[in-house]
Structure 1
Amino acid sequence: MEQFIAVAIAHFLALLIPGVDFFLIVRTTMTSGWRNAAGASLGIATANGVFIIAAFSGLAFISNPSVLAVIQLAGGAFLVFIGLAFIRSNTRFEPEQDLSVARTTWLTNFGLGIASGLLNPKNALFYLSLAAALAGAPPVTLIAYGVWMFMIVLVWDIFVAIAFGSRRALTRLGPVVPWLTKIAGGFLTVVGVSMIGSIVL
C-alpha cells in the first residue's frame, strides 16, 4: 500500500507541472470547446498508456539511447511546429462565441494528443524511472499501476479541459487568450529548439 501511495503521488505531481500537453488542451478548449479538447485528452492518455506498457513490459527498445534521441528530435520538431502555429494564430474568444461550431474535429485533436504524448521524451523517461523503481513487482501489480496511471492522466486532462472550458473561465480569459496563445507558442518553440539543439550540437 505504501508503494502504491508513493507511486500515485509521484505520478500526480508530475501531472501538475504545466507542459506541452497542458497548453495543447487549454488552447483546444478555448478554440473548439472542452468536448473537442477531450479528444486531445484521450490521445494524450493513450500515448501515456503506450509508454506505460512499454516500460512495464521491460521492452528494451524504449531505453535505447538511439530511440530516445529519435523521439527527442521528432518531439522537438513537433513542438517547434505547434509553437509557431500558436504564435501565428489570431485566436480570439468572444463571450457570445458558439463553441459548438468547432474549428477542429474531435478526431484531429485525438491525433494531436497522441503525437504530443508520444513525441515527448520526458514521458518515456518518467515511466522508465517508475518501472525501474517497481522492478520485481508482480505482473498483476504492474497492470493495476498502469491502469491507474492511464485513468488519472485521462481524468486530470479532461478536468483541465472542463475547468478552462466553462463560460466563466472563457469570459475572464477571453481578453488575454491571444497573448496566452502566443506566450505558450513561444514557450513550446524554445523548448523544441533546445531539444533539437541538445542532440544536434
Structure 2
Amino acid sequence: MATLRGCQLLRKFFGVTPLLRLGQRVSSPLVHVPVSVARVRCAATNPGDGGQKVSARLAEMRQILQEAEERALSAGSEPTPKITIDHVTVGFARSGGPGGQNVNKVNTKVDMRFNVKNAYWLSDRIRERILQMEKNRINKDGEIVISSTKTRTQKGNIEDALEKLQAIIDAAAYVPPPPSEEQKKRITKLANAAEQKRLQNKKALSQKKAIRRTKDSWD
C-alpha cells in the first residue's frame, strides 16, 4: 500500500510512473524523457547518508526524484517552439455539413500534415514526446493529419489547424515543476515503509521455510 501511494505521488507531482520492480525503465505519461533506473540488486550507499547503506527501493526513489529535478531545471530555460505554415503541408477540399451553396463551391476544408519525424526544428525531447503521445494518430510516414472545417474560409481553417498543432507541441514541451522538500520527504517516508514491509514479509517466509525443513527432518 505504501509503495502504491509513493508511485501515485510521483505520477501526480513529477510526471513519473515508476514500476514496482527494480531493474526496469521508468517513463512518464506527461514527460517524455525516460528515467533509467539502475539495476540495484542489494543495498547501496549514498553520500548524503554518511556512507551508510540504504535500501535498493529507497535508492531507486531518490534517483527518480533527482532526475525529475534535473529535467525541470534543464527545461526551464528552453522556450516553447512555435509552429508556422512553413512547417506543414496544407491541402484543401470541399466542406460538408451546413453552409448553403458556399460549401459546394469553395474548397474551404483544410487538411494539414505535420511530419513529426522530420521536424528537426523541435528538440529531441519534444519530438520524441509527440511521437509517444500521438502514436495512434501518426501515420506510417510519421505525419499527424489535422482537419479543420471550423470556419467558412481557408485562412480561418488554416489558423485553427495550426492552433491544434501548437496545443500538441505545448503539451509535449511541458515539464512539471521540481519536487518540493515536503514532497521528497513524504515519498522517502513511503519508500522506507514499503521496504520495511518487504523485509518483514521476506523474514516471515524464511521462517516458514525453516519450519518446513525441520518437520521434514523428523520423517
After TM superposition, is the score higher than 0.5?
A: no
What is the TM-score with the length of structure 1 in the denominator?
Answer: 0.35
State the structure with more CA Rg. Answer: 2
RCO higher in structure (CA 8 A, sep ≥6): 1
Bigger share in strand: 2
What is the TM-score with the length of structure 2 in the denominator?
Answer: 0.33
